[in-house]
Amino acid sequence: MSFPVLTTALDLLRRAAEGVPADRLDDPTPCDQWTVGQVLMHAAGDQHAWAAQVGAGALPAYNPFDPPRGHDEGVQGVVRVAIEAATATWERIDPAGGPVGTPLPPVPTMDPQLAAAACALDAAVHAWDVAVATGQPAPLTAELAEQLMPAARATAEPLRGFAYAAELPTQPGADPVAVLLAYLGRDPHWQR
């Protein structure tokens, strides 16, 4: 794929999903209204929505913003299929091409590189949500957080109160991961 940041983020989401034991799907997450299973279903739905808007994928059969707790095929299977759909779609997108559609109503089109980073932002941050909720190592790195911050700045404000909570304060000298998470309304030190 020609979008390394998205390849990295999708891999983080896949690994976080695969690392969830079946008995942890109902655990709380930094997304205080959703369980681990719901965050994974939301993340999968978002990847399908991106694929549908950018290319020729199908929209999810459920509302990603009212995600079910699980699925008959297993949550990890749903995530795997969503990642495959996203990967296949983005492989057909020219990184230097014209604007692509987005599933973000306030931001209907974006440059392909920024759109791929916005899609990656969703996958990476939800990978972090799931990882910290289930005791896995936090997957975000400073380098990845810095790569995702332009997409966060391009998309978060129009979606505050719907997809993102209010920005949280950070300490002076906070690392890029903490800055990104706080900008998106997440407590970088969240613990179960």
Closest CA to 172 of 164, 159, 186, 182: 182
Mean of pLDDT over the chain: 94
Highest mean pLDDT among 58-62, 101-105, 173-177: 173-177
What is 18-58 written as a DSSP string? HT--GGGTTSB-SSTT-BHHHHHHHHHHHHHHHHHHHSSPP
| Residue 84: pLDDT over 90 | yes
Q: What does the pLDDT average to over 159-171? A: 89
Domain ranges of the chain: 4-141
Give the type of residue at 154.
A
Give pLDDT, residue 163: 82
Summarised one tens digit per residue, pLDDT across range 116-145 is 999 999 999 999 999 999 999 999 999 999
What is 137-174 written as a DSSP string? PP---HHHHHHHHHHHHHHHHHHBTTTB-PPPP--TT-
Give pLDDT, residue 185: 95
Overall pTM surpassing 0.85 (yes/no): yes
What is the rounded distance in angstroms from the CA atom of residue 95 to the CA atom of residue 52? 17
Q: Does domain 4-141 have CATH number 1.20.120.450?
A: yes
Q: What tokens were used for 42?
A: 């939301």
Give pLDDT, residue 186: 95
Give pLDDT, residue 55: 84
Give pLDDT, residue 164: 87
> Which residue shows structure tokens 């999708």?
10
Give pLDDT, residue 88: 95
